[in-house]
């Protein structure tokens, strides 16, 4: 029996069907794994983007609050209250407008709110006891008394004469992470101080 050389070559050369199928299976498995990895990364990027937007909102709203006059916030927003929560637009229609409450940035809805609290503050100092020997230019003549914490009090005492001059502003931004449905929030604190009077 004679076998032609062409028949022998067709068995030996090129790739077998099994080899191609194994290679294809490996390619499919690896392609799915990589696409899963990229999709995971993309979800992470979107999550970070939502956090960045939240931080930007926090900065913007707190900056607006701190550039507002103390008396305007104290009289028009708090009007006698010592602590309150604000989650709606303030000073609407004016140049000082601060939009709070529900704000949509991109596909995400953020809830922005602020807690305002008048805080009592008193500063201590060793007052100078001035006698006949005192001269401003001669430090040797200075006589300091004992520490006194009542010379500068801004705590609403003395029938309101020592009025509050500091408002603690706590700004909060909340949003819900899609898919996992987890609520996230970030906060920052600063102080609105009456330096006008």
Binding other proteins (rule: CB under 8 A), the pick from 33, 67, 71, 158 is 33
If one asks whether residue 84 binds other proteins (CB under 8 A), the answer comes out as: no
Question: Could you identify the residue written with the tokens 């983007």?
Answer: 49
For 183, counting Cβ atoms within 10 Å of its Cβ (0-12 exposed, 13-18 middle, 19+ buried), the class is: exposed
**Closest to 183 (Cα-Cα) out of 172, 170, 197:** 172
108-127 binders of other proteins (CB under 8 A): 119, 121-127
Q: Which residues pair with 90 in a beta bridge?
A: 98
Phi, psi dihedral angles at 177 (to 5 degrees): -75, 120
Nearest-approach distance from CB 5 to other proteins, in angstroms: 12
Binding to other proteins by residue 128, rule CB under 8 A? Answer: yes
Residue 124 DSSP SS3: strand
Q: ∠170-85-120 over CA atoms, to 5°?
A: 60
What number of chain residues touch other proteins (CB under 8 A)?
Answer: 65
Which of these ranges, 77-85, 94-102, 148-156, 174-182, lies near other proteins under the rule CB under 8 A? 148-156
Establish if 179 lies at the interface with other proteins (CB under 8 A): no
Tell me: does residue 158 bind other proteins (CB under 8 A): no
Rounded CA-CA distance 92/123 in Å is: 36
Site for other proteins, rule CB under 8 A: 9, 12-16, 19-20, 22-24, 26-27, 30-31, 33-34, 37-38, 40-41, 44-45, 47-48, 51-52, 55, 58-59, 62, 66, 119, 121-128, 139-140, 142-144, 147, 151-152, 154, 165-166, 168-170, 186-195
């Amino acid at each position: 029996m004679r076998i032609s050389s062409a028949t022998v070559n067709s068995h030996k050369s090129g790739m077998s069907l099994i080899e191609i199928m194994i290679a294809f299976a490996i390619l499919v498995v690896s392609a799915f794994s990589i696409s899963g990895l990229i999709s995971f990364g993309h979800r992470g990027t979107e999550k970070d983007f939502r956090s960045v937007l939240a931080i930007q909102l926090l900065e913007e709203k707190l900056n607006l609050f701190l550039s507002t006059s103390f008396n305007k916030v104290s009289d028009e927003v708090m009007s006698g209250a010592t602590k309150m929560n604000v989650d709606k637009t303030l000073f609407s229609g004016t140049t000082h407008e601060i939009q709070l409450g529900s704000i949509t940035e991109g596909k995400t809805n953020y809830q922005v709110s602020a807690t305002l609290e008048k805080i009592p503050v008193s500063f201590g100092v060793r007052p100078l006891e001035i006698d006949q020997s005192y001269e401003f230019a001669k430090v040797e003549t200075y006589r300091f008394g004992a520490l006194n914490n009542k010379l500068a009090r801004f705590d609403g005492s003395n029938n309101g004469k020592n009025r509050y001059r500091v408002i603690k502003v706590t700004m909060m931004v909340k949003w819900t992470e899609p898919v996992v449905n987890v609520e996230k929030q970030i906060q920052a604190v600063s102080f609105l101080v009456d330096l006008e009077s």
